[in-house]
Amino acid sequence: MPASIRSLSCALGPCLLLGTTLACASTVLPELEIHSDADADDPRVKEVSTATRTATAVRDVPQTIDSVKTGDLTRYGVSDLAYALTGLPNVSDGADTRFDSLRIRGFDASYDFYLDGIRDDSQYKRDLHNIERIEVLKGPAAVLYGRGSQGGIVNRISKTPTVGQRSTLQAQGGSNDLRSLYADLNADAADTLSLRLNLGNEHRNSFRDGVSSDRQLFAPSMSWQLHPDLNWLLQYEYGRHQRIPDRGIPGVGGRPAKLSRATTYVADGSFSDDRTQSLRSRLSYALDDDWQLRHTLGIFRLDSDFDDTFLTGYNDQTGAVSRSRWQQDLTTRNLFNTIELEGRFDTGGLEHQALTGVEVGRQRRDPTLYTFVKEGAGASGVPALDLVNPDRRLRHTGKMALSANNHTIVESLGIYVQDHIRLNDQWQLLAGVRRDQFEVESLHAVKGLSATRASSSISPRLGAVWSPVPHHAFYASWTKSFSPVGGGLIGINPGASDNSNDLSPELTRQREIGLKSDWMDQRLSTTLAVYELELYNRKTQDPEDPNVILMTGLQRSRGLELTLTGTLADHWYIRAGLGMQRATVVKDTNGFEGKRVNNVAERNGSLFLTWKPAVGWYAESGLTLVGQRYADKHNTTTLPGYARWDASLGYREKDWDLGASLNNINDKVYYASATSASQIQPGAPRNLVVSATYNF
């Protein structure tokens, strides 16, 4: 035997090579978890939770769902939810500086926002700095989420602690005095405990005179493996958004007024201050390899104050803009408790993924509202301003008086069952049903009146997926949703002179067919969808008695959507979408029959191309397209269509990323949204954002 002896290292521990014999000491190594993302720059989200409340491949969902990674938007300085979703097929921005508002497939989705699957329907502007991605489920979603969701829901997926996650510091600066600094700090405190902290602040002025915004964020979270079968995810988020509200410009002669983009009618001293707190707890217990029990608790509070003098109309005889002044102190509190059981089982050769759950909710909304009261002949009221040269120093003369002091409580209970059945390699079925009980109680303290209303509804869903060849899936689905009285901006009007408090829920139904495909060795994904969405018992007034509201109206949206995302070639990525829709009031007795739904374009879309190697230079360029819309439901004021061109250029290494983005390169004059013909929001002119990111 040779005398030479060499020391080696092997996977089992220290080894000695004795001649031709390998001897290894037995060593037990700690369990190692390896997380791999094949391509972190791929814009696709291949598995979603919003559509089924379970982790499901996008191709297996018989309904359209679009996903946006916030990382793809950060470099452009985007921190606004509606702006982030502009360009998604058949999604429309309806927001102003007071609160988020969207239309999905032609239907209002202003109260269909969710955070990690928990209802978040309060009126405020949401921050995206602690959000990993945004999922938009198209069409009714009451089968899992309850009331509302006529056109779809928007679910923000927050950043959570992950084993081995790196930390990040990001600073941004740019046009309009943009300054921001955010930290995303991660640590593994123990083998079973991961921590994450997102915090930072942002300041920006505006291209609009006298308008500015300040944000603060503090969001700690932890993921604690209490037991091999029990995980506890706990998240807290505090945000503050202080800003000067801007309600835009008026329409003149059927078009937005021809003004300098800087022109505003904001009174000196106007402000809006939102403070939000959110606590979310999720306990997940694995009963065995196939079954899991989850308990989710969501607590949310909003404290919102504003003093706002804003536009109410334009007088073409005098050339003056009329205004109104309001003050509000608002508190909203939401509490939702959900218990879910998810599991897999087989019956007769069929594979089932079943979900059943119970959701109990309690919401409270307490607005105290003050408005200007004109006293005596000498009181000048809220001064009107000149359209072209407004003197924003002019304020009202007179007192602010209590207009409303309301208190609303909503109690809700939802029970739902869902079964995702795999019949064979080609066919899948998705069926679900939910029963909701909804009760609203409102007190009008000024009038000394109160009222309570209760309603219930059943919301079904049925869908099928057929995959005749690998990587291609045809699907068809039918879904239904309901909107009870007092269920949007929660509350009813005690002592109402009409029958508005006694109406049955409005009902929405959707029929959708489509094709989801993966191409080029599954590097590229497409979705093609065709749908019809109807609100078939829309509220409308009795033409013979305006105090009687009938449920005989019909609003319909028919459309087509196409999305394309993924990898075109090595380091080349694409995210693109095109939407075409016709959203109209089909039946109505108030003169709206045949009118298009306001703030909804018949065509919209986007196309972004990215070249991004793992290290070195990278670049992206893209177009966002929005067609002509109407600012008002009477279709009297038209917002012209536009194409906005954005681009970014950067350089990155392992730990550093430096980049610059130019928004609206062509300096297009456009209008982002409108809440009425008197309040139209101009889009931002050309602006620059410079970013520096350090990973450690």
**pLDDT score for 29:** 38
Confidence at 40, pLDDT banded by 50, 70, 90: confident
Burial 396-413 (b: 16+ CB within 10 A, else e): bebeeeebebbbbbbebe
Q: Does the pLDDT of residue 63 top 90, yes or no?
A: yes
32 phi, psi to nearest 5 deg: -120, 125
- Ramachandran quadrant class, 287 (left: phi over 0; alpha: psi -120 to 50; beta: rest): alpha
- Residue closest to 565 by CA, chosen among 54, 32, 66, 64: 66
**pLDDT score for 374:** 67
Pairing of strands 642-652, 472-483: unpaired
For residue 177, the SS3 value is: helix
Pairing of strands 118-119, 131-138: unpaired
**What integer is the mean pLDDT of 533-553?**
90
| Residue whose structure tokens are 């405020």 | 124
Q: Does the pLDDT of residue 207 top 80, yes or no?
A: yes
**pLDDT score for 378:** 45
Confidence at 581, pLDDT banded by 50, 70, 90: very high
C-beta atoms surrounding 613 within 10 Å: 12
**pLDDT score for 79:** 84
**pLDDT score for 375:** 60
Confidence at 28, pLDDT banded by 50, 70, 90: very low
The span from the CA of 167 to the CA of 222, in Å, is 15
C-beta atoms surrounding 68 within 10 Å: 21
Q: Does the pLDDT of residue 21 top 60, yes or no?
A: no
Of 36-40, 41-45, 86-90, minimum mean pLDDT range: 36-40
**What integer is the mean pLDDT of 640-644?**
97
- Residue closest to 647 by CA, chosen among 659, 661, 632: 661
Which of the pair, 293 or 397, is modelled with greater confidence?
293
Q: Quote the tokens at residue 99.
A: 């609160």
**pLDDT score for 269:** 86
Of 286-295, 375-384, 449-458, 483-492, minimum mean pLDDT range: 375-384
Mind listing the domains of the chain with CATH numbers? 47-157 (2.170.130.10), 158-695 (2.40.170.20)
In this predicted model, what pLDDT tens digit does every residue of 327-350 receive, in sequence order?
Answer: 999 999 999 999 999 999 999 889
The span from the CA of 511 to the CA of 462, in Å, is 10
Q: Quote the tokens at residue 275.
A: 């403070």
Mean pLDDT across the chain, nearest whole number?
91
Distances, alpha carbon 384 to alpha carbons 251, 269, 271, 307, in Å:
16, 17, 19, 17
**What integer is the mean pLDDT of 467-490?**
95
In this predicted model, what pLDDT tens digit does every residue of 71-111 receive, in sequence order?
Answer: 999 899 998 898 899 999 999 998 887 889 999 999 999 99
**pLDDT score for 380:** 53
The listed range with the strongest mean pLDDT (82-86, 376-380, 394-398, 614-618) is: 614-618
**pLDDT score for 544:** 82
Q: What's the pTM?
A: 0.91
Q: Does the pLDDT of residue 36 top 60, yes or no?
A: no
The span from the CA of 275 to the CA of 616, in Å, is 41
Q: Quick one: CA dihedral 408, 410, 116, 509, positive or negative?
A: negative
**pLDDT score for 267:** 86
Residues 455 and 438: beta-carbon distance below 8 Å: yes
C-beta atoms surrounding 29 within 10 Å: 8
Confidence at 17, pLDDT banded by 50, 70, 90: very low
C-beta atoms surrounding 536 within 10 Å: 16
Q: Quote the tokens at residue 696.
A: 């450690």
**pLDDT score for 621:** 97
Which of the pair, 401 or 235, is modelled with greater confidence?
235
Amino acid at 573: Y
The span from the CA of 563 to the CA of 64, in Å, is 10
The span from the CA of 671 to the CA of 691, in Å, is 27
Q: Does the pLDDT of residue 618 top 90, yes or no?
A: yes
Q: Is 627 exposed, middle or buried (0-12, 13-18, 19+ CB in 10 A)?
A: middle
In this predicted model, what pLDDT tens digit does every residue of 103-140 receive, in sequence order?
Answer: 999 999 999 999 999 999 999 999 999 999 999 999 99
The span from the CA of 413 to the CA of 406, in Å, is 23
In this predicted model, what pLDDT tens digit does every residue of 646-667 receive, in sequence order?
Answer: 999 999 999 999 999 999 999 9
Q: Quick one: CA dihedral 84, 85, 87, 93, positive or negative?
A: negative
DSSP code, position 596 = B
Q: Does the pLDDT of residue 22 top 70, yes or no?
A: no
**pLDDT score for 58:** 94
Burial 294-331 (b: 16+ CB within 10 A, else e): bebbbbbbbbbbbbbbbbebbeeeeebbbbebebbebb
DSSP per residue over 327-395, as a string?
EEEEEEEEEEEEEEEEEEEEETTEEEEEEEEEEEEEEEEEEEEEEEE--STT--BS--EESSS--TT--
**What integer is the mean pLDDT of 192-200?**
97
Q: Quote the tokens at residue 58.
A: 């996008």
Q: Does the pLDDT of residue 635 top 80, yes or no?
A: yes
Proportion of the chain above pLDDT 70, given as a percent? 94
Distances, alpha carbon 674 to alpha carbons 111, 251, 386, 583, 629, in Å:
17, 10, 21, 17, 9
Q: Does the pLDDT of residue 10 top 90, yes or no?
A: no
